[in-house]
Amino acid sequence: MGKLTGGDPSLLRKINSSVVLRALRDAGDAGDAPTLSDLASATSLSRPTVEGVLEGLAAAGLVVEASGGPEARRVGRPARRFRFRAEAGHTLGVGIGAHRVQVVLADLAGRRLGSAGAPVAERASAEARLAVVDAVVAEVLAAAAVERGSLRAAGVGTPGVIGPEGTVRLCSALPGWTGLALGERLRAALGCTVLLENDANAAVLGEHWAGAAAGCGDVVMVLAGLSPGAGSLIGGRLHRGHRGAAGEIGALHLLGRELTPEHLLSTDGEPLHPLDEAAVSRVFALARSGDRRAVGAVDRFSRRVLHDVTALVLALDPELVVLGGWAAGLEEVLGTLRRELPEYCLWAPRVELSALGEDAVATGALRVALDRVEEELFRVEAPG
């Protein structure tokens, strides 16, 4: 008997707090804020226990008494109502790319409060790139009137392979990035927990949460770009690989003796540089206008992506492939994939364009930050 209900009383208090907080969070903004009785019934805890827990949560700033409710308009003493203070803390999603930094801000319940982005030079130093991150974070916080000290967790998506200790183990796309203690640098700058994730991994989490892969657990997301990469969900979980390098398919074309995207997309024999959104848009626009060399370039590039996607599809057999990275030109690549994948795969998966576009990496990074916050606040046992 003692074994089941006894044990560490502070752990029991934490479990009860989490259960009540989760019930409040799930009640959300829909309908009336719950009363003490509502919470006791939803959590199977006694009224005195719920009352004690609420006092502690209120003292921690996580719960506040809600005004209003149907009783407030009636005669007699109204029942007290409570709500989760989602504004008690904030979360950030940061996407650091070769040409752009993108940041989204949300509260503890995951409601988006704002976003901002800024360009960054492909050859910018690590310090310069970090300065842009800092400026965009400052901008998005200021616009939403949120203090930096209110941040609870930030997720960060970046090209490269991330080590478990929060350093960039390897990144060929960004100057000065390999070996950078990126987690430590951003923790110091943001003053909160920082969680790093590979950009394609973050993107597939973003599309799964709120984009083209919603409701689909077996997904490969391919990010076109300077160094193409892929992120995969298997059974709804990220597959990172033994060393965190799963989906780093950039080198595969070397074997087929094909060329880099800069060469493939060239229309004058010189590598396309910088290989940013604007340059890529120009090539795709030229191709649409019928320019013969641009048509050739787009075709060569599409076949390169087809080759990479085929390799991933044959290895993993996903239900869905999501194509993202650039906003422009991917319709042409999508057409090639949909037309030609069935030639090489036993069963070709669905292929969709990213629904989140340039927000995909930052949105997935935000999901990573929210997962951590939820783990800390609500998840004392496996979610029901």
Residue 9 C-beta-side C-alpha neighbours within 13 Å? 2
- Residue from 144, 189, 259, 345 that binds a second copy (CB under 8 A)? 345
Which has the closest alpha carbon to 313: 241, 237, 232, 381? 232
Q: Does 261 bind a second copy (CB under 8 A)?
A: no
Q: How far is the CB of 158 from a second copy (least distance, A)?
A: 15
The H helix count followed by the E strand count for the chain is 13, 14
Per CB under 8 A, which region of 112-120, 194-202, 303-311, 329-337 contacts a second copy? 303-311
Q: Does 293 bind a second copy (CB under 8 A)?
A: no
Q: How far is the CB of 176 from a second copy (least distance, A)?
A: 18
Which has the closest alpha carbon to 54: 90, 12, 83? 83
Q: Does 312 bind a second copy (CB under 8 A)?
A: yes
Q: Got the DSSP string for 182-212?
A: HHHHHHHHHSSEEEEEEHHHHHHHHHHHHST
Q: Does 99 bind a second copy (CB under 8 A)?
A: no
Q: Does 314 bind a second copy (CB under 8 A)?
A: yes
Per CB under 8 A, which region of 34-42, 95-103, 127-135, 314-322 contacts a second copy? 314-322
Tokens of 354: 């990213």
Q: Does 264 bind a second copy (CB under 8 A)?
A: no
Q: Does 335 bind a second copy (CB under 8 A)?
A: no
Are the C-beta atoms of 163 and 169 separated by less than 8 Å?
Answer: yes
Q: How far is the CB of 244 from a second copy (least distance, A)?
A: 7
How far apart (Å, rounded) are the C-alpha atoms in residues 254 and 127?
A: 31
Binding residue count for a second copy, defined by CB under 8 A: 41
Q: How far is the CB of 106 from a second copy (least distance, A)?
A: 31
Site for a second copy in 230-259 (CB under 8 A): 230, 232, 234, 239-249, 251-252, 254-256, 258
Please state, in angstroms and as integers, the Cα–Cα distance from residue 231 to each residue in 7, 22, 196, 201, 361, following that order. Answer: 42, 30, 14, 4, 11
Q: How far is the CB of 137 from a second copy (least distance, A)?
A: 30
Which CB, 105 or 222, lies closer to a second copy?
Answer: 222
Using only the alpha carbons of the chain, give its radius of gyration. Answer: 24
Which has the closest alpha carbon to 166: 183, 186, 187? 183
Q: Coil, strand, or helix at residue 10? A: helix
Q: Does 278 bind a second copy (CB under 8 A)?
A: no
Residue span 212-231 as binding mask against a second copy, x where in contact by CB under 8 A, dash where not: ------x-----------x-
Name the β-bridge partners of 196: 156
How far apart (Å, rounded) are the C-alpha atoms in residues 178 and 171?
A: 5
Q: How far is the CB of 238 from a second copy (least distance, A)?
A: 12
Residue span 134-173 as binding mask against a second copy, x where in contact by CB under 8 A, dash where not: ---------------------------x--------x---
Please state, in angstroms and as integers, the Cα–Cα distance from residue 18 to each residue in 29, 95, 150, 238, 268, following that order. Answer: 19, 30, 20, 26, 62
Where does this chain bind a second copy (CB under 8 A)?
161, 170, 218, 230, 232, 234, 239-249, 251-252, 254-256, 258, 303, 306-307, 310-312, 314-319, 343-347, 349
